[in-house]
């Protein structure tokens, strides 16, 4: 079945993650050192990930889109960026169900989301 919402999927993807608040909470739990390390890795790597997503989208390479979304879902789940993680999961689902229009639309939103995360926390 194409594009069926899962139970914990937001009804729309315009929901926002409050990046600063989430990272502050993470700092309390995991400490400044580790969170600073996370931000450093995120800031260094995400621009390349975004470039790969743009390339895969341009070439309609859905296998690569899915792989990259899967990879980034680990990043986002560790950072507790819930809406980003759900977007990544939905891209995987859309590719699995061969709903290419939805996969491309979600990828656009995902790129926008990652850019925003990058600009906010870097």
Partner 1 sequence: MSSSDLKVLIVEDEMIFARQLESWLKNKVSDIYISNTSENGSYYLSMENPDIIFLDNQLPGINGLDVIEFYKEKAPNSILVLMSSVFLLEEITQALKVGADYVFNKRNENESGLNSILEASLKTKSSGNPFWKIIEFITPDKSDTSKKVVILEDEELFSFQLLMLLNNLPSQKKHTVHRFSRADEFIKHVRKNNYPDVLFLDYELEDSNAHEILDHINKHGKECNTIILSANIDIDTALSLNLEGVSEIIMKDENWQKSITECARNLKL
- The answer to whether 112 contacts partner 1 (rule: CB under 8 A) is no
Which two tokens mark 57? 């989208």
Shorter beta-carbon distance to partner 1: residue 70 or 102? 70
Structure tokens at 70: 């899967």
Contacts of 54 (CB under 8 A, 6+ apart): 111
Within 10 Å of residue 6's Cβ, how many Cβ atoms?
9
Q: Report if residue 45 touches partner 1, rule: CB under 8 A.
A: yes
Q: Does 34 bind partner 1 (CB under 8 A)?
A: yes
- The residue from 53, 57, 65, 75 that contacts partner 1 (CB under 8 A) is 75
Binding residues for partner 1, how many (CB under 8 A)?
A: 23
Under 8 Å between Cβ of 113 and 84: yes
For partner 1, the binding residues in 9-28 under the rule CB under 8 A are none
The burial class, CB within 10 Å (0-12 / 13-18 / 19+), for 85 is: buried
Separation of alpha carbons 74 and 25, rounded Å:
19
Instruction: Select the span of 11-19, 63-71, 98-106, 114-122 touching partner 1 (CB under 8 A).
Output: 63-71
Least distance between partner 1 and beta carbon 70 (Å): 6
The site for partner 1 (CB under 8 A) is made up of 6-8, 30-31, 34, 37-38, 41-42, 45, 67, 70-71, 73-75, 77-79, 85, 89, 92
């Amino acid at each position: 079945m194409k594009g069926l919402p899962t139970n914990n999927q937001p009804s729309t993807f315009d929901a926002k993650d409050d990046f600063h608040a989430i990272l502050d909470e993470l700092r309390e739990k995991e400490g400044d050192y580790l969170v600073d390390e996370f931000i450093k890795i995120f800031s260094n790597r995400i621009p390349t990930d975004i470039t790969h997503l743009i390339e895969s989208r341009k070439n309609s390479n859905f296998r690569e889109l899915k792989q990259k979304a899967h990879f980034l879902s680990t990043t986002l789940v560790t950072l507790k960026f819930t809406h980003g993680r759900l977007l990544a999961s939905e891209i995987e689902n859309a590719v699995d169900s061969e709903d290419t229009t939805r996969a491309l639309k979600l990828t656009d939103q995902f790129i926008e989301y990652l850019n925003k995360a990058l600009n906010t926390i870097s």
